[in-house]
Amino acid sequence: MEKHILSKSTFLRGLQCAKSLYLYKNFIQLRDAPSAEQQSIFNRGSNVGVFAQQLFPGGTDATPARRSDNPAAVERTHELISSGAEVIYEAAFQFEQVLAILDILVKKEGSWYAYEVKSSTKISQTYLLDASLQYWVITNSGLPLEDISLITINNQYVRKGDVDPHGLFTFRSVKKEALSNQAMISEKIAQSKLVAADPKMPEMRIGEHCFSPYNCDFMSTCWKNVPPNSVFEITGISKADQFALYDAGFKTIPEIPEENLLGKNANIHINAVKTGEPLIDKEALKLFLGKISYPVYFMDFETFMPAIPVYNGTKPYQHLPFQFSLHYKTHEREEAKHIEFLAEQGFDPRKTFIESLLKHTEGQGTILVFDALMERNVLNGLKKDFPEFSEAIDNRLSRIVDLMQPFQEKSFYHPAMKNSFSIKNLLPAIVPELSYASLKISSGSIAMIAFEKLQRETDMFKILEVREQLLEYCKMDTLAMVKVFEVLEASKGE
Ligand code: SF4
């Protein structure tokens, strides 16, 4: 069998950008490494795919001994079909050098049904194209399909006892869409094959397609000539507006004329970059700080969101809090004190989490949170899960003030923030003595992955090491808030 030229993923890559397909085929070494977050999404997809096999138990896996041996997988699938197998996992097909590996193939009453599993809760256009390509390869390779369906996660499912795969997943036939896409798929396959075989790289300027439907993994190659302080750092305007500026020759922020139609927020950032001076609206800052009363708590949660619910009473992708850090000051000139909580791995953390949090935030005073949406959602979720704490949780919710507000509203704006309101971007701008750089865990998503992995970890030394790293990270988040708050207080003037 000839080696395949296109697979599902390279076909979709070519639809996003011909140059991306060309680079992948010819210069894969230029590809940017996936981030820890992207790798975790990929791993999550694989776990969900394996779990979904329980929907059709007793099947045979066509994956060959050497995973990359695709011809062996195609041959094995063919043998399984010929020998009367009725449920095949990872069924592989090839037609005209296009390879498709289907999650689950099932024979019912003499007809074949194809199922592709997605770890998402929604069906996207990309998934429909993916299924359309599968349909094209499978049917053209000689296996008629009665139907093809996407299996996604049902986000309303609540675990009770063992996870019920029939409750966790939801099915939708996409045969109609697949059929209507067949002519387009044929045409795009032909075009993509030409791109892959062409010795010349396709001309392709950077554009909005670099981000849609996915962030391209050749950005460090194609975007390397984009200068610092480029117009792509202006947030609050659309990508289309950024490219319009760039294509009109205004490549950097200092080149943007005084008179423009970019709006107030974008111009605050533009002017701050041009002057290099922070912008401080003292009156607005005073108003914000006037809402805060001592003792002040600086609070941050870490959560994990398993696609397949781990605990009874939880839903897919529910934010499950496993850690908090609290700094607190009883008055302005006091050094902040610190309290922390990190749940034991392997147990439902929610009850001990909320009990500990309520105990340490009893009484009065403002609870400052940076970007409070997640913390509010978690507390509201805990209210439903543990109605006995409802009143106390309402009290904490009523005391929350979002420390991001003055930055978001540009009452305080520093050019080095690059229009980002994340605390990690604020720190180098306004508290340069603090940094996440030396931390092994340096973002909420890495913390989430680390805690998820701890659930399966058995090496005590590794467990202690990761727990230490988690504690350090979360503590840094609230210490950073303390320092940022002190900068705001010092900036408001008399
Ligand atoms: S970075 Fe943009 S232009 Fe370059 S290959 Fe990717 S999508 Fe194409």
Q: DSSP assignment of 398-430, as one string?
A: HHEEETTHHHHTTSEE-GGGTT---HHHHHHHH
Of 30, 206, 208, best ligand 1 pocket probe by most atoms within 8 Å of the beta carbon = 206
Atom of ligand 1 nearest to the CA of 204: 3
Whether omega for the bond prior to residue 295 falls within 30 degrees of 0, making it cis, is yes
pLDDT tens-digit readout, 246-261: 999 999 999 998 888 8
For the cut 80, the answer to whether the pLDDT of residue 466 exceeds it is yes
Atom of ligand 1 nearest to the CA of 206: 3
172, β-bridge pairs: 150
Across the range 199-216, mean pLDDT stands at: 94
Confidence of residue 112 (pLDDT cuts 50, 70, 90): very high
pLDDT over 90 percentage in the chain: 77
* pLDDT of amino acid 226: 94
Q: Within 6 Å (CB) of ligand 1, which residues are found?
A: 17, 19-20, 23, 204, 206, 209-210, 216, 218-219, 222
20 alpha carbon – ligand 1 mean position (Å): 5
249 alpha carbon – ligand 1 mean position (Å): 20
For the cut 80, the answer to whether the pLDDT of residue 43 exceeds it is no
Of 19, 26, 208, best ligand 1 pocket probe by most atoms within 8 Å of the beta carbon = 19
For the cut 90, the answer to whether the pLDDT of residue 264 exceeds it is no
Ligand 1, atom 2: nearest CA belongs to which residue? Answer: 210
Mean pLDDT, rounded, of the chain: 93
Residue type, 60: T
* pLDDT of amino acid 222: 97
25 alpha carbon – ligand 1 mean position (Å): 14
Ligand 1, atom 1: nearest CA belongs to which residue? Answer: 219
Atom of ligand 1 nearest to the CA of 216: 6
Ligand 1, atom 7: nearest CA belongs to which residue? Answer: 210
Picking from 208, 203, 272, 284, the residue whose alpha carbon sits closest to that of residue 234 is 272
Across the range 272-294, mean pLDDT stands at: 91
* pLDDT of amino acid 272: 86
469 alpha carbon – ligand 1 mean position (Å): 36
419 alpha carbon – ligand 1 mean position (Å): 24
Across the range 63-73, mean pLDDT stands at: 88
19 alpha carbon – ligand 1 mean position (Å): 6
* pLDDT of amino acid 65: 83
Of 20, 32, 195, 201, best ligand 1 pocket probe by most atoms within 8 Å of the beta carbon = 20
198 alpha carbon – ligand 1 mean position (Å): 17
204 alpha carbon – ligand 1 mean position (Å): 7
Give the separation between CA 318 and CA 140, rounded to whole angstroms: 41
For the cut 80, the answer to whether the pLDDT of residue 236 exceeds it is no
pLDDT tens-digit readout, 169-201: 999 999 999 999 999 999 999 999 999 999 999
- Residue 323's φ and ψ, nearest 5 degrees, are -155, 145
Across the range 218-237, mean pLDDT stands at: 91
For the cut 80, the answer to whether the pLDDT of residue 130 exceeds it is yes
Ligand 1, atom 3: nearest CA belongs to which residue? Answer: 206
The residue that leads in pLDDT, 165 or 237, is 165
The residue that leads in pLDDT, 67 or 467, is 467
Atom of ligand 1 nearest to the CA of 23: 5
Across the range 299-327, mean pLDDT stands at: 95
The answer for 203, left when phi > 0, alpha when psi is -120 to 50, beta otherwise, is beta
* pLDDT of amino acid 2: 85
Domain ranges of the chain: 8-197, 208-277, 283-491
Domain 283-491 has CATH 3.30.420.10: yes
Which residues make Cβ contacts (< 8 Å) with residue 266, sequence separation at least 6?
A: 234, 235, 236, 237
* pLDDT of amino acid 66: 84
41 alpha carbon – ligand 1 mean position (Å): 22
Ligand 1, atom 5: nearest CA belongs to which residue? Answer: 20
Atom of ligand 1 nearest to the CA of 209: 7
215 alpha carbon – ligand 1 mean position (Å): 9
Tell me the H-state helices in 17-124. Answer: 18-26, 36-52, 70-82
425 alpha carbon – ligand 1 mean position (Å): 26
For the cut 70, the answer to whether the pLDDT of residue 45 exceeds it is no
For the entire predicted model, the pTM comes to: 0.88
206 alpha carbon – ligand 1 mean position (Å): 6
3-state secondary structure of 87: strand
176 alpha carbon – ligand 1 mean position (Å): 31
For the cut 70, the answer to whether the pLDDT of residue 332 exceeds it is yes
Confidence of residue 67 (pLDDT cuts 50, 70, 90): confident
* Beta strand 296-304 pairing with 320-329: antiparallel
For the cut 70, the answer to whether the pLDDT of residue 494 exceeds it is no
Which residues make Cβ contacts (< 8 Å) with residue 271, sequence separation at least 6?
A: 279
Atom of ligand 1 nearest to the CA of 217: 6
Across the range 87-102, mean pLDDT stands at: 97
Confidence of residue 265 (pLDDT cuts 50, 70, 90): confident
Across the range 242-247, mean pLDDT stands at: 92
Give the separation between CA 403 and CA 333, rounded to whole angstroms: 19
Q: State the CATH class of domain 8-197.
A: alpha beta
Ligand 1, atom 4: nearest CA belongs to which residue? Answer: 222
The residue that leads in pLDDT, 358 or 434, is 358
Q: Which two tokens stand for residue 304?
A: 């994990």
288 alpha carbon – ligand 1 mean position (Å): 43
* Beta strand 87-95 pairing with 98-108: antiparallel
Out of 98-102, 119-123, 265-269, 312-316, pick the least confident.
265-269
pLDDT tens-digit readout, 395-417: 999 999 999 999 988 888 888 77
For the cut 90, the answer to whether the pLDDT of residue 21 exceeds it is yes
Of 13, 209, 214, best ligand 1 pocket probe by most atoms within 8 Å of the beta carbon = 209
